[in-house]
Amino acid sequence: MSIPAAYIGVILIWSTTPLAIQWSSDGVGFLFGITSRMIIGVLFGLLIAGLFSVPLPRHANAYRTYLAAGLGLFFAMTAVYWSSQFIPSGWIAVIFGLAPIITGVMATFWLAEKALTPARVSGIFLGISGLVLMVLGSQQLGHQAGYGIAGMLFSVIAYSASAVAVKRIGADIPALATTIGGLFVAVPLLLLLYLLTGEPLPNVIPTRAAASILYLGLVGSVLGFALYYYVLRHVDATSVALITLITPVTALMLGHYLNGEVLQTQTIVGSATILSGLLLFEYGQQAGKWVRDTLIG
């Protein structure tokens, strides 16, 4: 598959995922939404792997990859679903936009991909400033919005650690195999969590929730993560995380037009500040070099 096509596919899927996550929990609870999604995902993934004869490697590095991917799925996605109860869907993508910064810092120490240059450090502070603006703006949503923001920060850290760990292991296995293996790790953990919390099964599943769960299970869990791990294998971890430069904008628009979410001025300014920090973090050094070479030297 073309790497650019896979990259665009991830952007489209991740843009629609935050809103689908909120809808999938309506009337059924967030644990039912995520658990049923992941079960559908692993079954569909096995079907696709069988149809296209995709091998599921069973060597030591493969198992390490499955564990790293699965723990990332469990912690990151559970935190996202829990947080979606307290904040608008667009905010999920905006806060997740901090992933390139956190991934970049982790990759610096674990993968030695790039140094923390002055431009990158400035981008980090700009991104944090944008997050602070979002936190201040969350007061208009009620005190529980702080829970959602904290949960999303935990999710971003778990996601970034998982991405860097998979990259560090460097197992040469199919992207679909990584997805299925990760789901095999995440699903038992989700079922255990469901049992421990004692959350009852819903008597009725609303149509919109059912459609969202099906979409997330088939497209979000299998196709989305397979494309994500495919891209992750071919480009550096921080470049993969740059997908979150685009998805916050599209997710905010989808939440506004399809879910009636209000775009407050502070939300827009905070989002723009976070994205500006991400741009500076990733491209500040190259831009400075271009200015020096073109205009000065």
Whether 90 contacts 148, CB under 8 Å: no
User: What pLDDT sits at residue 260?
Assistant: 87
289 pLDDT band, cuts 50/70/90, is: low
**187 or 221: which leads in pLDDT:** 187
Q: In the predicted model, is pLDDT for residue 191 greater than 90?
A: yes
| pLDDT tens readout for residues 230-275 | 887 787 766 776 776 788 888 988 998 999 888 888 788 888 888 8
Does residue 141 or residue 90 have the better pLDDT? 90
Lowest mean pLDDT among 5-19, 184-198, 207-221, 222-236: 222-236
Tokens for 38? 């992941």
241, 100 in Cβ contact below 8 A? yes
Boundaries of every domain in the chain: 3-115+144-246
Q: Is 43 left (phi over 0), alpha (psi -120 to 50) or beta?
A: alpha
> Which of 21-30, 43-52, 81-90, 260-269 is predicted least confidently?
260-269
Confidence (pLDDT) at 137: 73
Question: Rounded to whole angstroms, how far apart are CA atoms 104 and 279?
Answer: 13
> What pLDDT band is residue 20 in, cutting at 50, 70 and 90?
very high
Q: How far apart are CA 245 and CA 11, in angstroms?
A: 10
- The yes-or-no verdict on residue 285 having pLDDT over 70 is no
Asked if residue 146 lies in contact with residue 84, where contact means CB atoms within 8 angstroms, the answer is no
Instruction: Check if the beta carbon of residue 33 is closer than 8 Å to that of residue 25.
Output: yes
Number of Cβ within a 10 Å radius of residue 295: 7
Name the pTM for this structure.
0.85
Query: Residue 161 and residue 164: Cα distance in Å, rounded?
Result: 5
Residues whose CB is less than 8 angstroms from the CB of residue 50 and which lie 6 or more positions away in sequence, other chains included: none
What tens digit of pLDDT does each residue of 59-80 get? 999 999 999 999 999 999 999 9
State pLDDT tens for residues 108-137. 888 877 667 788 788 888 888 888 888 777
Is residue 33's pLDDT more than 80? yes
Phi-psi region of 116 (alpha: psi -120 to 50; beta: other; left: phi over 0): beta
d(CA 192, CA 228): 27
Q: Is 247 helix (H, G, I), strand (E, B) or coil?
A: helix
- Which residue from 251, 187, 253 is spatially nearest to 39, judged by alpha carbons? 187
Asked whether the beta carbons of 18 and 84 are under 8 A apart, the reply is yes
